[in-house]
């Protein structure tokens, strides 16, 4: 399950966020928008940020607390690969040849 805060003045309706939410659903993942606390975020198995300039950026620690084993997790890697495949389909250019 992917959890994101709801859209608001501090969470923008970004195109990358929307695209990744759609990809996640296409891959059979649940995408849920709801509040969560910093303590809940620190207990996550993995996390990532999205932006139009950074696309999908793995988060490996929050407040010095490692998430998982401290490396980008499997869901993050799968989503990143799916994202770049979608970009390649739309543009005809393979920007990413990993996983």
Residues composing the chain = 99
Contact (CB, 8 A) for 24 and 79? yes
In the chain, the number of structural domains is 1
pLDDT, residue 11, reads 67
pLDDT, residue 28, reads 95
Whole domain around residue 54: which residue ranges?
2-89
CATH number of residue 18's parent domain: 3.20.10.10
pTM: 0.80
Q: Tell me, yes or no, whether 97 lies in a domain.
A: no
Q: Tell me, yes or no, whether 99 lies in a domain.
A: no
pLDDT, residue 97, reads 60
* Positions of the chain with pLDDT lower than 70, given as ranges: 9-12, 95-99
Contacts with 52 (C-beta within 8 Å, 6 or more apart), sequence order = 14, 15, 16
């Amino acid at each position: 399950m992917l959890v994101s805060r709801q859209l608001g003045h501090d969470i923008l309706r970004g195109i990358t966020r929307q695209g990744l939410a759609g990809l996640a659903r296409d891959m059979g993942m649940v995408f849920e928008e709801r509040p969560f606390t910093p303590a809940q975020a620190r207990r996550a198995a993995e996390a990532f940020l999205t932006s139009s300039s950074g696309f999908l950026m793995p988060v490996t620690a929050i407040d010095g607390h490692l998430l998982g084993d401290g490396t980008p997790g499997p869901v993050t890697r799968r989503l990143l690969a799916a994202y770049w495949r979608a970009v390649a389909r739309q543009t005809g250019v393979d920007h990413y040849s990993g996983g």
